[in-house]
């Protein structure tokens, strides 16, 4: 695989940024250069020489998607735009690599396997589920289901380090259980799938390791970050959001089975190892 055969969509997001670093010779665009919600722009784009379309674009504001405008935007980017990409991949014999989410499930079945039926709770989850359905119409497709993505951008680890830096001992949700997915791990998975002869289809794609709650992860962040005096108080998702308007329902169980990914020969990294490295870089 040659970098110049790769096209990254949504190149300025957390994953898009990591993909550009991995494939410096790739072509890329964010919404300013190519708005994937515009069917004509996508079909009229010059795709010559491209073999792999990596879709890192998404509407990721989970609560924002519950508003009237957000609902439209979420469906446009997470579903209709994916159909535009799937169509162009079919027409030009390109591989579509698309990123999905644990939010396509209600979180009651644990761990999630790739063939679990959809059961999204929120508008974001519904739009992502629709995106999975249309991405699968590209004959050559990989759909990767990530959870709790951490990379370059606004994310949970940065928010907690910021609170710690200001000496705040937070109350954090303790009943959502899952694992972090570092963009470095997601990029390793993407590179592995594209360069091995892994079968097309859907794969869960998170870091491995002991599943944990957001509160547990915060304790780990404070320990690794050198804030031993700060405490973390557990709360429930229901208590945390009580009385707040416009909050999207969240799945409580976000543990993804990594068995299918392992069958392709991929060796996952423990989220705690990647968290250690991430915090070291943040504090350098």
Rounded Cα distance between 19 and 21, Å, is: 5
For tokens 């050559």, what's the residue? Answer: 140
Q: Which of 31, 39, 133, 177 binds ligand NAP (CB under 6 A)?
A: 31
Residue 153 is a binding residue for ligand NAP (CB under 6 A)? yes
The catalytic residue among 23, 124, 203, 278 is 124
Residue 12 is a binding residue for ligand NAP (CB under 6 A)? yes
Q: Which of 99, 104, 232, 258 binds ligand NAP (CB under 6 A)?
A: 99
Residue 65 is a binding residue for ligand NAP (CB under 6 A)? no
Q: Which of 6, 7, 8, 15 binds ligand NAP (CB under 6 A)?
A: 15
Residue 37 is a binding residue for ligand NAP (CB under 6 A)? yes
Residue 58 is a binding residue for ligand NAP (CB under 6 A)? yes
Between 148 and 227, name the residue whose CB sits nearer to ligand NAP.
148
Residue nearest ligand NAP (C-beta atom)? 13
Residue 143 is a binding residue for ligand NAP (CB under 6 A)? no
Residue 130 is a binding residue for ligand NAP (CB under 6 A)? no
Q: Which of 42, 81, 161, 194 binds ligand NAP (CB under 6 A)?
A: 81
Asked if 240 is an active-site residue, the reply is no
Residue 133 is a binding residue for ligand NAP (CB under 6 A)? no
Q: Which of 101, 122, 176, 208 binds ligand NAP (CB under 6 A)?
A: 101
Residue 157 is a binding residue for ligand NAP (CB under 6 A)? no
Convert the chain into a string of H (helix), E (strand) and C (coil). CCHHHEEEECCCCHHHHHHHHHCCCCEEECCCCCCCCCHHHHHHCCCCCCCEEEECCCCCCCCHHHCHHHHHHHHHHHHHHHHHHHHHHHHCCCEEEEEEEHHHCCCCCCCECCCCCCCCCCHHHHHHHHHHHHHCCCCCEEEEEECCEECCCCCHHHHHHHHHHCCCCCEEECCCEECCEEHHHHHHHHHHHHHCCCCCEEEECCCECCCEEHHHHHHHHHHHHCCCCCCCEEECHHHHHCCCCCCCCCCCECCECCHHHHHCCCCCCEHHHHHHHHHHHHHC
What are the phi and psi torsion angles at 91 (to 5°)?
Answer: -65, -35
Residue 216 is a binding residue for ligand NAP (CB under 6 A)? no
Choose one: 19-27, 29-37, 214-222, 231-239; the region binding ligand NAP (CB under 6 A): 29-37
Active site residues: 124
Q: Name the residues that contact ligand NAP, by CB under 6 A.
A: 9-10, 12-16, 30-31, 35-37, 56-58, 60, 77, 81, 99, 101, 128, 146-149, 153
């Amino acid at each position: 695989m040659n970098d110049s055969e790769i096209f990254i969509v949504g190149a300025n997001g957390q994953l898009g940024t990591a993909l550009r670093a991995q494939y410096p010779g790739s072509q890329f665009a964010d919404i300013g250069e190519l708005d994937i919600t515009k069917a004509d722009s996508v079909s009229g784009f010059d795709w010559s020489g491209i073999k792999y379309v990596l879709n890192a674009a998404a509407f990721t504001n989970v609560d924002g998607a519950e508003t009237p405008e957000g609902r439209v935007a979420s469906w446009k980017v997470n579903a209709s735009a994916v159909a535009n990409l799937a169509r162009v991949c079919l027409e030009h014999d390109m591989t579509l690599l698309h990123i999905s989410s644990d939010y396509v499930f209600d979180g009651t079945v644990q761990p999630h396997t790739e063939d679990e039926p959809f059961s999204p709770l929120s508008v974001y989850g519904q739009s992502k589920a629709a995106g999975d359905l249309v991405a699968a119409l590209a004959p050559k497709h990989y759909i990767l289901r990530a959870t709790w993505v951490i990379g370059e951008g606004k994310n949970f680890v940065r928010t907690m380090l910021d609170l710690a830096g200001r000496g705040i001992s937070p109350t954090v949700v303790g009943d959502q259980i899952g694992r972090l997915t570092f963009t470095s791990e997601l990029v390793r998975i993407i590179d592995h799938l594209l360069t091995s002869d892994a079968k097309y289809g859907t794969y869960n794609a998170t870091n491995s390791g002991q599943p944990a709650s957001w509160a547990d992860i915060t304790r780990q962040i404070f320990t690794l970050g050198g804030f031993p005096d700060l405490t973390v108080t557990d709360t429930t998702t229901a208590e945390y959001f009580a009385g707040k308007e416009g909050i999207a329902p969240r799945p409580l169980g976000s543990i993804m089975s990594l068995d299918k990914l392992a069958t392709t020969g991929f060796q996952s990294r423990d989220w705690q190892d990647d968290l250690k490295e991430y915090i070291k870089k943040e504090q350098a």
